[in-house]
Amino acid sequence: MAALIHNVSVDLRQLALQPHSRVQTFRDLSVVGRVVHEQAVAIGVPANWIAHAKKAGQQGRRATDAASLPPCRPVARSLLLAQLYHQVDTLSTLAAGGPIRRDHATVTLEAADKLTEHLRLQWLRVAMVATALDVTEAETSGWWSLEAADWRARLDQISQQSAPDQGRQWRDLTHVGRVREGRIRVAAMRMVGIDLADSSPHQLPPAPHLLETVAETTWHTASLEPGSGAGIGAAIAATGVEDGYGIADSDLFDLPPPGDVPHPQLEPDF
Protein backbone atom coordinates (compact mmCIF):
# COMPACT_ATOMS: atom_id res chain seq x y z
CA MET A 1 0.00 0.00 0.00
CA ALA A 2 2.89 2.34 0.77
CA ALA A 3 4.33 1.59 -2.68
CA LEU A 4 0.97 2.40 -4.28
CA ILE A 5 0.87 5.75 -2.47
CA HIS A 6 4.44 6.37 -3.62
CA ASN A 7 3.62 5.72 -7.27
CA VAL A 8 0.40 7.78 -7.23
CA SER A 9 2.48 10.67 -5.87
CA VAL A 10 4.90 10.22 -8.79
CA ASP A 11 2.00 10.34 -11.27
CA LEU A 12 0.57 13.46 -9.64
CA ARG A 13 3.95 15.18 -9.83
CA GLN A 14 4.30 14.33 -13.51
CA LEU A 15 0.77 15.49 -14.33
CA ALA A 16 1.34 18.74 -12.46
CA LEU A 17 4.06 19.53 -14.98
CA GLN A 18 1.73 18.95 -17.94
CA PRO A 19 -0.36 21.62 -19.74
CA HIS A 20 -3.62 22.67 -18.09
CA SER A 21 -5.56 20.76 -20.76
CA ARG A 22 -5.02 17.71 -18.53
CA VAL A 23 -6.42 19.35 -15.42
CA GLN A 24 -9.36 16.89 -15.25
CA THR A 25 -6.98 13.94 -15.25
CA PHE A 26 -5.02 15.63 -12.48
CA ARG A 27 -8.19 16.08 -10.44
CA ASP A 28 -9.20 12.46 -10.97
CA LEU A 29 -5.79 11.23 -9.89
CA SER A 30 -5.92 13.53 -6.86
CA VAL A 31 -9.11 11.72 -5.81
CA VAL A 32 -7.31 8.39 -6.26
CA GLY A 33 -4.47 9.65 -4.07
CA ARG A 34 -6.84 10.76 -1.32
CA VAL A 35 -8.85 7.53 -1.35
CA VAL A 36 -5.75 5.34 -1.31
CA HIS A 37 -4.39 7.39 1.60
CA GLU A 38 -7.65 6.91 3.53
CA GLN A 39 -7.61 3.18 2.85
CA ALA A 40 -4.00 2.85 3.95
CA VAL A 41 -4.96 4.48 7.26
CA ALA A 42 -7.95 2.12 7.60
CA ILE A 43 -5.83 -1.03 7.37
CA GLY A 44 -3.20 0.24 9.78
CA VAL A 45 -0.37 1.45 7.53
CA PRO A 46 1.72 3.64 9.89
CA ALA A 47 1.37 7.39 9.35
CA ASN A 48 5.13 7.83 9.02
CA TRP A 49 5.21 5.20 6.23
CA ILE A 50 2.47 7.08 4.37
CA ALA A 51 4.34 10.37 4.75
CA HIS A 52 7.60 8.72 3.66
CA ALA A 53 5.96 7.21 0.56
CA LYS A 54 4.39 10.52 -0.47
CA LYS A 55 7.68 12.39 -0.06
CA ALA A 56 9.57 9.76 -2.05
CA GLY A 57 6.99 9.91 -4.85
CA GLN A 58 7.20 13.69 -5.02
CA GLN A 59 10.86 13.28 -5.90
CA GLY A 60 9.79 11.62 -9.14
CA ARG A 61 11.22 8.13 -8.66
CA ARG A 62 8.92 5.11 -8.65
CA ALA A 63 8.84 2.58 -5.84
CA THR A 64 11.11 -0.45 -6.11
CA ASP A 65 11.34 -3.73 -4.22
CA ALA A 66 14.56 -2.48 -2.68
CA ALA A 67 12.94 0.65 -1.24
CA SER A 68 13.22 0.86 2.53
CA LEU A 69 10.74 2.30 5.00
CA PRO A 70 11.47 3.96 8.36
CA PRO A 71 10.73 2.14 11.63
CA CYS A 72 6.96 1.85 11.86
CA ARG A 73 4.75 3.65 14.35
CA PRO A 74 1.79 1.27 14.59
CA VAL A 75 -1.75 2.54 15.08
CA ALA A 76 -3.74 1.48 18.14
CA ARG A 77 -5.92 -1.49 17.19
CA SER A 78 -8.85 -0.02 19.10
CA LEU A 79 -8.80 2.96 16.73
CA LEU A 80 -8.73 0.74 13.64
CA LEU A 81 -11.70 -1.27 14.94
CA ALA A 82 -13.64 1.92 15.73
CA GLN A 83 -13.05 3.16 12.18
CA LEU A 84 -14.17 -0.20 10.76
CA TYR A 85 -17.32 -0.21 12.91
CA HIS A 86 -18.19 3.22 11.52
CA GLN A 87 -18.09 1.68 8.03
CA VAL A 88 -20.29 -1.19 9.23
CA ASP A 89 -22.78 1.43 10.41
CA THR A 90 -22.70 3.06 6.97
CA LEU A 91 -23.34 -0.35 5.38
CA SER A 92 -26.49 -0.76 7.48
CA THR A 93 -27.65 2.77 6.63
CA LEU A 94 -27.30 2.01 2.93
CA ALA A 95 -29.49 -1.07 3.30
CA ALA A 96 -32.08 0.74 5.44
CA GLY A 97 -32.35 3.85 3.29
CA GLY A 98 -33.94 2.18 0.27
CA PRO A 99 -37.35 1.07 1.61
CA ILE A 100 -37.89 4.33 3.49
CA ARG A 101 -37.08 6.47 0.46
CA ARG A 102 -39.34 4.40 -1.80
CA ASP A 103 -42.25 4.98 0.58
CA HIS A 104 -41.58 8.70 1.05
CA ALA A 105 -40.56 9.86 -2.42
CA THR A 106 -40.09 8.87 -6.03
CA VAL A 107 -36.93 6.87 -6.61
CA THR A 108 -35.49 7.01 -10.11
CA LEU A 109 -33.99 3.92 -11.70
CA GLU A 110 -30.61 5.66 -11.83
CA ALA A 111 -30.68 6.43 -8.10
CA ALA A 112 -31.77 2.88 -7.27
CA ASP A 113 -28.88 1.49 -9.31
CA LYS A 114 -26.41 3.81 -7.58
CA LEU A 115 -27.68 2.74 -4.16
CA THR A 116 -27.35 -0.93 -5.08
CA GLU A 117 -23.80 -0.46 -6.35
CA HIS A 118 -22.80 1.66 -3.35
CA LEU A 119 -24.15 -1.05 -1.02
CA ARG A 120 -22.13 -3.73 -2.80
CA LEU A 121 -18.96 -1.62 -2.76
CA GLN A 122 -19.43 -0.77 0.92
CA TRP A 123 -19.89 -4.48 1.68
CA LEU A 124 -16.58 -5.20 -0.07
CA ARG A 125 -14.93 -2.31 1.76
CA VAL A 126 -15.98 -3.65 5.16
CA ALA A 127 -15.15 -7.27 4.34
CA MET A 128 -11.73 -6.47 2.86
CA VAL A 129 -10.68 -4.22 5.75
CA ALA A 130 -11.92 -6.81 8.27
CA THR A 131 -9.84 -9.40 6.42
CA ALA A 132 -6.76 -7.16 6.23
CA LEU A 133 -6.98 -6.47 9.97
CA ASP A 134 -7.67 -10.18 10.61
CA VAL A 135 -10.41 -9.26 13.05
CA THR A 136 -11.40 -11.92 15.56
CA GLU A 137 -14.83 -13.38 16.18
CA ALA A 138 -14.94 -11.60 19.55
CA GLU A 139 -14.14 -8.25 17.89
CA THR A 140 -17.02 -8.55 15.39
CA SER A 141 -19.53 -9.97 17.89
CA GLY A 142 -22.87 -8.23 17.37
CA TRP A 143 -21.76 -6.35 14.25
CA TRP A 144 -23.71 -8.36 11.68
CA SER A 145 -27.16 -8.29 13.27
CA LEU A 146 -30.18 -9.58 11.37
CA GLU A 147 -32.48 -9.04 14.34
CA ALA A 148 -35.67 -7.10 13.70
CA ALA A 149 -35.27 -5.00 16.86
CA ASP A 150 -31.87 -3.73 15.77
CA TRP A 151 -33.15 -2.83 12.31
CA ARG A 152 -36.32 -1.23 13.68
CA ALA A 153 -34.21 1.20 15.71
CA ARG A 154 -32.17 2.18 12.65
CA LEU A 155 -35.22 2.49 10.41
CA ASP A 156 -37.01 4.64 13.00
CA GLN A 157 -33.98 6.91 13.27
CA ILE A 158 -33.92 7.49 9.52
CA SER A 159 -37.69 7.83 9.09
CA GLN A 160 -37.92 10.38 11.91
CA GLN A 161 -35.46 12.73 10.24
CA SER A 162 -36.87 15.88 8.69
CA ALA A 163 -37.60 15.76 4.96
CA PRO A 164 -34.59 17.97 4.11
CA ASP A 165 -32.28 15.78 6.21
CA GLN A 166 -33.64 12.62 4.58
CA GLY A 167 -33.11 14.19 1.18
CA ARG A 168 -29.52 15.14 1.98
CA GLN A 169 -28.76 11.66 3.27
CA TRP A 170 -30.31 10.04 0.19
CA ARG A 171 -28.29 12.24 -2.17
CA ASP A 172 -25.13 11.35 -0.27
CA LEU A 173 -25.85 7.61 -0.46
CA THR A 174 -26.58 7.71 -4.21
CA HIS A 175 -24.09 10.36 -5.33
CA VAL A 176 -22.02 9.30 -8.34
CA GLY A 177 -18.89 10.62 -6.63
CA ARG A 178 -19.41 8.30 -3.66
CA VAL A 179 -19.84 5.33 -5.96
CA ARG A 180 -16.74 6.29 -7.95
CA GLU A 181 -14.69 6.55 -4.77
CA GLY A 182 -16.00 3.13 -3.71
CA ARG A 183 -14.77 1.60 -6.97
CA ILE A 184 -11.33 3.17 -6.50
CA ARG A 185 -11.15 1.97 -2.91
CA VAL A 186 -11.93 -1.64 -3.77
CA ALA A 187 -9.59 -1.61 -6.77
CA ALA A 188 -6.75 -0.29 -4.60
CA MET A 189 -7.20 -3.07 -2.05
CA ARG A 190 -7.25 -5.69 -4.80
CA MET A 191 -4.12 -4.23 -6.35
CA VAL A 192 -2.17 -4.68 -3.11
CA GLY A 193 -3.35 -8.27 -2.69
CA ILE A 194 -6.25 -7.90 -0.24
CA ASP A 195 -9.01 -10.33 -1.22
CA LEU A 196 -11.66 -12.48 0.41
CA ALA A 197 -10.32 -15.90 -0.57
CA ASP A 198 -9.05 -16.64 2.93
CA SER A 199 -11.55 -14.63 4.98
CA SER A 200 -13.04 -16.29 8.04
CA PRO A 201 -16.87 -16.34 8.17
CA HIS A 202 -16.95 -13.83 11.05
CA GLN A 203 -15.05 -11.34 8.86
CA LEU A 204 -17.84 -11.23 6.25
CA PRO A 205 -21.07 -9.29 6.81
CA PRO A 206 -24.31 -10.89 5.59
CA ALA A 207 -24.55 -10.50 1.81
CA PRO A 208 -26.08 -7.24 0.52
CA HIS A 209 -29.35 -8.82 -0.60
CA LEU A 210 -29.84 -10.28 2.89
CA LEU A 211 -29.35 -6.85 4.46
CA GLU A 212 -31.87 -5.39 2.01
CA THR A 213 -34.35 -8.17 2.79
CA VAL A 214 -34.09 -7.60 6.54
CA ALA A 215 -34.53 -3.84 6.16
CA GLU A 216 -37.45 -4.17 3.74
CA THR A 217 -39.27 -6.78 5.84
CA THR A 218 -38.79 -4.91 9.12
CA TRP A 219 -39.95 -1.63 7.59
CA HIS A 220 -43.12 -3.12 6.14
CA THR A 221 -44.02 -5.38 9.06
CA ALA A 222 -45.39 -2.93 11.60
CA SER A 223 -46.76 -5.70 13.83
CA LEU A 224 -43.40 -7.48 14.15
CA GLU A 225 -42.51 -7.93 17.80
CA PRO A 226 -39.16 -6.32 18.77
CA GLY A 227 -36.59 -9.03 19.24
CA SER A 228 -38.60 -11.65 17.37
CA GLY A 229 -36.61 -13.15 14.56
CA ALA A 230 -39.42 -15.27 13.11
CA GLY A 231 -40.43 -12.79 10.42
CA ILE A 232 -36.87 -12.09 9.44
CA GLY A 233 -35.99 -15.77 9.33
CA ALA A 234 -38.97 -16.44 7.09
CA ALA A 235 -38.01 -13.56 4.79
CA ILE A 236 -34.45 -14.82 4.45
CA ALA A 237 -35.64 -18.40 3.95
CA ALA A 238 -37.88 -17.16 1.16
CA THR A 239 -34.80 -16.04 -0.77
CA GLY A 240 -33.78 -19.67 -1.13
CA VAL A 241 -30.40 -19.03 0.47
CA GLU A 242 -29.37 -21.71 2.96
CA ASP A 243 -26.07 -20.38 4.28
CA GLY A 244 -25.61 -17.34 6.53
CA TYR A 245 -23.98 -15.19 3.87
CA GLY A 246 -25.87 -16.13 0.73
CA ILE A 247 -22.54 -17.24 -0.76
CA ALA A 248 -22.37 -20.84 -1.89
CA ASP A 249 -19.12 -22.37 -3.12
CA SER A 250 -20.46 -22.37 -6.66
CA ASP A 251 -21.04 -18.60 -6.44
CA LEU A 252 -17.36 -17.77 -6.05
CA PHE A 253 -15.55 -16.66 -9.16
CA ASP A 254 -12.46 -14.78 -10.25
CA LEU A 255 -12.75 -10.99 -10.15
CA PRO A 256 -9.36 -9.59 -11.21
CA PRO A 257 -8.60 -5.92 -10.55
CA PRO A 258 -7.56 -3.53 -13.32
CA GLY A 259 -3.99 -4.22 -14.39
CA ASP A 260 -1.66 -6.97 -13.28
CA VAL A 261 -1.93 -8.36 -9.76
CA PRO A 262 0.06 -11.09 -8.02
CA HIS A 263 -2.90 -13.25 -6.99
CA PRO A 264 -6.33 -14.10 -8.42
CA GLN A 265 -9.22 -12.64 -6.46
CA LEU A 266 -12.01 -14.89 -5.25
CA GLU A 267 -15.08 -12.93 -4.25
CA PRO A 268 -18.79 -13.60 -3.95
CA ASP A 269 -21.01 -12.98 -6.93
CA PHE A 270 -23.96 -10.93 -5.72
pLDDT of residue 88: 97
pLDDT digit string (tens) for 80-95? 999 999 999 999 999 9
- Listing DSSP states for 198-211 in one string gives T--GGGSPPPHHHH
Average pLDDT over residues 250-257: 32
pLDDT range class, residue 270, cuts 50, 70, 90: very low
Instruction: Count other C-beta atoms under 10 Å from residue 258's C-beta.
Output: 9
Average pLDDT over residues 198-221: 94
pLDDT of residue 261: 41
Round to whole Å and give the CA distance between 153 and 155. 6
Write phi, then psi, for 252 (nearest 5 degrees). -90, 135
Residue 150 has pLDDT above 60, yes or no: yes
Query: Which residues, in sequence order, are bridge partners of residue 168?
Result: none
pTM of the predicted structure, to 2 decimals? 0.78
Q: Which of 64-68, 92-96, 170-174 has the lowest mean pLDDT?
A: 64-68
Nearest CA to 194 out of 7, 79, 40, 61 is that of 40
pLDDT range class, residue 155, cuts 50, 70, 90: very high
pLDDT digit string (tens) for 94-108? 999 999 999 888 899
Average pLDDT over residues 258-262: 40
Residue 259 has pLDDT above 50, yes or no: no
Mean pLDDT of the chain: 82
- Listing DSSP states for the chain in one string gives -HHHHHHHHHHHHHHHTS-GGGHHHHHHHHHHHHHHHHHHHHTT--HHHHHHHHHHHTTT----TT---PPP-PPPHHHHHHHHHHHHHHHHHHHHHHHHHHHHS---HHHHHHHHHHHHHHHHHHHHHHHHHT--TTTTTTTT---HHHHHHHHHHHHTS-HHHHHHHHHHHH-HHHHHHHHHHHHHHHHTT--STT--GGGSPPPHHHHHHHHHHHHH-TTPPTT--HHHHHHHHTTT--STTS--GGGEEE-PPSS--SS--EEE--
pLDDT digit string (tens) for 23-36? 667 678 888 889 99
pLDDT of residue 198: 86
